Amino acid sequence: MPAMVAGMPFATLCGALAIAKGLSPAEVFAMSLLVFAGGAQFAAIEIWSFPVPVFALVVSTLLINSRHVLMGVSLRPKLHALSGSQRVLGCFTLADENWALAERRATVRPISPTYFLVMGIVFWANWVLWSLVGALLGPVLGDPRRFGADFAFTAIFIGLIVSLRTGRRTGAVIVASALTAALVRVLIGSPWHVLSGALAGFLATAVLRVDQPESR
C-alpha cells in the first residue's frame, strides 16, 4: 500500500527526532501507541523541553487533532455497517491517511467492519513499528541537523498546510497565526507561541466570516 510506504520515513524520522530531544525509546513507543497522530507528535516533539510543558503539549495536541472531529462527522454516516462498540474501538485508529482511504472507499462500495478495523490496525502498527525503529536508529545516525533532517519536519508541516487549505481565506489565517507565533516566540518564548498563534488564526477565521468553507 503506497500510503503506508509513505508513512515509514515520517514515523522513522519522528522517532529519531524524539530521541534527539531527550525522550527514551520506551517513551517514543508509548507515544506512538497511545497518540498515533503524526502531526501532533511532530509538534509535541518540537516544543518538548525539560521540565515537560504538560499543559502546552496537551493543548497543542488537542488543537492539531481537532480536525479528527470533522473527519468523524463526515465519516459517521458511512459507518452504519459497524456496531456501536466497533465504532468506539475502531475510531481509535482514525487518522488522515486511513480516513481519506475510507472516504474514497465509501464512494465505491459500503465500508465493511473488516475493512475499517483491519485498515486502522495496519496503519497503527506500521506507525508504532517505524517510529520505534527511528528511536533505536536515531543515536546511531547522529545529529539530525547534519542531514537537514530537522527541517524535514518543517517541510512536512508546510506540505500538510498546503493540502489542508480550504480557500483563499486560509492564507490570512496562516499569516495571522505565523506572525503572532514568531512574535510571541521572540518576546515571551516557547511553547506559548503555539497557543497564541492558534488563537490568532482562530480570531482571523471569526473576523473573516468564512461562511461557505469547502467540506472536507
Site for another protein in 95-124 (CB under 8 A): none
Cell of 4: 503506508
Q: Which listed range, 102-110, 111-119, 126-134, 153-161, lies at the site for another protein (CB under 8 A)?
A: 153-161
Neighbouring residues of 40: CB distance < 8 A, sequence distance ≥ 6? 60, 61, 64, 65
* CA–CA dist 15, 55 (Å, integer): 22
Among 39, 126, 127, 138, binds another protein (CB under 8 A): 39
Minimum Å gap between C-beta 91 and another protein is 5
Map residue 175 onto helix, strand or coil.
helix
Q: Which is closer to another protein, CB of 89 or CB of 105?
A: 89
C-alpha cell read off for 72: 468523524
Among 1, 137, 179, 188, binds another protein (CB under 8 A): 179
CB closer to another protein, 118 vs 155: 155
Of 11, 62, 57, which is closest to residue 33 (Cα–Cα)?
11
Name the minimum Å distance from CB 98 to another protein.
11
Which of 108, 211 has the CB closer to another protein?
Answer: 211
Number of residues that bind another protein (CB under 8 A): 98
Contact pattern from residue 42 through residue 81 relative to another protein, giving x for each residue in contact according to CB under 8 A and a dash for the rest = xxx-xx---xx-x--xx-xxxxxxxxxxxxxxxxxx-x--
Helix spans in the chain (H): 2-20, 25-34, 38-47, 54-64, 67-75, 84-90, 96-108, 113-141, 149-164, 169-187, 192-208
